[in-house]
Chain A
Amino acid sequence: MKKSAATILREYGPFPNADRVNGVTFDGRHVWFASGDRLNALDPDSGEVVRSIEVASHAGTAFDGEFLYQIAEDVIHKIDPKTGQILSTIPAPGNGGDSGLAWAEGTLWVGQHRGRRIHQIDPETGKILRTIESNRVVTGVTWVDGQLWHGTWEGDDSDVRRIDPETGEVLERLEMPEGTGVSGLESDGADRFFCGGGGSGKLRAISRPQGK
């Protein structure tokens, strides 16, 4: 397992009317983050929130190329980012103990916080397809280039780690500075991760290590 300190590229926020960051996703242009009662679209270049959708947003956020998925209480809403309409709702696999959401390969991946595992579910029905065990609380999940990454955060310790999607084995860890937690994780598809900062109300861009 490779272990290194995370390199923080940029810090955004805290933002007005958004005390927390509960989940993060990226639609290719904007970073969407969940702040409790709305989803906010941030321009990562300017650092400005350019629009927001009023919807309950208590944990992870994901984007499938067209629609947003947002965990609220114990369900996952599918949301049209253009209109802000909730299109459909499925149960969340952790019954509300869910934290972290990612879209990949036609399915949703949901972190189960204290359950210390990640579920792959059917985005239409919410049916659990398979479950990967982790040994840390899961606070954010993302897929990039066939790699499964998730955030952890326990007390003062937090990291972003790559795990083997088959076995759950930890392959690589990026340790966050003490007191800097990860709540919500998304890659930009290239060399950056966006990390939610929980109650700090901040959003951070960290660099993704290149090469296998």
Chain B
Amino acid sequence: MDSLITAAALALASGDALGALKRVALRDDAPALALRGIAMAQLGDLVRAKALSKSAARAFGPREAVARARCVVAEAEIALVSRDLTWPVKALEAARKVLEAHGDRVNAAHAGNVAVRRLVLIGRLDEAEQALGRLDPTPLPPALRAAHELVASGIAVRRLKTEAARAAIDRARLAARQADIPALSAEVETAAHLLDAPAARVISRGDERPLLLGQVEALFSGGTLVVDACRHVVRDAGAVVPLASRPVLFALARTLAEAWPADVARGTLIARAFRGKHADESHRARLRVEIGRLRAALAGLAEVSATKRGFALSPGRAGDIAVLAPLMEGPHGAVLAFLADGEAWSSSALSIALGASPRTVQRALDSLAGEGKVQAIGRGRARRWMSPPLSFFPTILLLPGPLPSD
């Protein structure tokens, strides 16, 4: 490695992207292209960064397999941050193996981290969790360790494991401080802040209040039957009944739960479940059918009994009933509610879950995307929608050092 490349790499490692760029701005050899790509990525010009990393990978000679592999990892991280999911995952895995085979444990671990972040991004939490468990963060330098812990905390948050999320955030904070990169520390604090901000509302016995993430977790594990309007499930400590694909049943369950311990008039149930149509005899018949289905779906969790004027919910083994609702229930609240589960939804799946037309769902998604409340990943038929806030991983790039001979 030559003098300016070394100097630029040192600058980059200390978080000084402009300093690195200044040193290699006019050079077009492979290591300079790679460093320029990383610097541009850190400065936010992902399009330029992608092109530079690609040309760097091509410019390294056939003997420089490790340098090439590092460029591939850099490209993958840039693609991830650009939400470009068409980027070939196999190339990343191949690069990781090359790095591992050549004893570059740090960059191999970084490649693994990028792969896990991608799984979190596309909502494959089980796989992400498994892959994360296989990664050993010990050899990672502080910046990459911080990123690793942020991913761990992001998964824990989506799993509602508040303690684990908090512990991971603490480790991330420590590592970010050691790395001494202010932008990274800021990302950790943003993630930490989400743990202390209201995550949802609870409605019970006519009362309504905001809940922190930890309180949501406590609600789920306590002796309460929760009609969860964030995930569209009904749950107690022992069981979860998903109703996301059965919007009428969920609307009935929620209406009954909000009224508990009182009952709900048939007319109200019909209005809430069947979209505001006034009750006639055919609606009453349909209500009876749907209540029968709800009764079957909630068997063991709760009972639905007929009263003089309508129906009432009563908890099975749980002592209490509450509704967990998203913080905001505006016109697109239902879409946000589904996305709050951290999974990646296709618009057609959302339209099934919401019982709304694909056009309505698409309009809602477009308007939410405009407000930055949801994000799309992938293109065409593969496009998926997610809510961004709980997916903790640093948006600053922590690309590997793709230097030639070291």
A residues lining the B interface (CB < 8 Å): 20, 22, 36-37, 56, 58-60, 71-74, 92, 94-99, 112-114, 137, 139, 153-158, 179, 181, 183, 198-200
Contact = CB atoms under 8 A, between A and B. Distances in A.
B67 interface: yes
Given A59-B2, A199-B406, A96 B10 contact: no
B6 A22 contact: yes
B61 A97 contact: no
A20 B6 CA distance: 10
Contacts of B293: none
A155 B7 contact: no
A179 B1 CA distance: 15
18 contacts: A36-B6, A37-B10, A58-B6, A58-B7, A59-B1, A72-B3, A73-B3, A74-B4, A94-B2, A96-B5, A97-B2, A113-B5, A137-B405, A139-B1, A155-B61, A155-B64, A155-B405, A198-B1
Nearest to B30: A114
Given A22-B1, A37-B10, A179-B103, 18 more contacts: A22-B3, A58-B4, A58-B6, A59-B6, A72-B3, A95-B4, A96-B23, A96-B27, A97-B27, A99-B2, A139-B405, A155-B61, A155-B63, A155-B67, A156-B63, A181-B405, A183-B1, A198-B405
> When A and B form their complex, which 9 residue pairs have the shortest distance between CB atoms, in order from nearest?
A96-B4, A199-B406, A155-B63, A59-B3, A113-B2, A58-B6, A153-B405, A198-B406, A58-B3
Nearest to B406: A199
Residue of B61, B66, B67, B406 ringed by the most chain A CB atoms within 10 A? B406
Contact of A96 (B3, B66, B102, B403): B3
Given A72-B7, A73-B3, A92-B3, A181 B63 contact: no
B382 to A, nearest CB: 37
Contacts of B196: none
Interface string B2-27: 11111100100000000000010001
Given A96-B23, A154-B63, A73 B405 contact: no
A101 to B, nearest CB: 9
Nearest to A75: B3
A131 to B, nearest CB: 16
B405 A114 contact: no
Contact of B2 (A36, A96, A156): A96
A154 B29 contact: no
Contacts of A198: 1, 405-406
A4 B403 CA distance: 28
B1 A71 contact: no
A154 B67 CA distance: 10
A72 B5 CA distance: 10
B259 interface: no
A99 B3 contact: yes
Given A97-B29, A179-B102, A20 B406 contact: yes
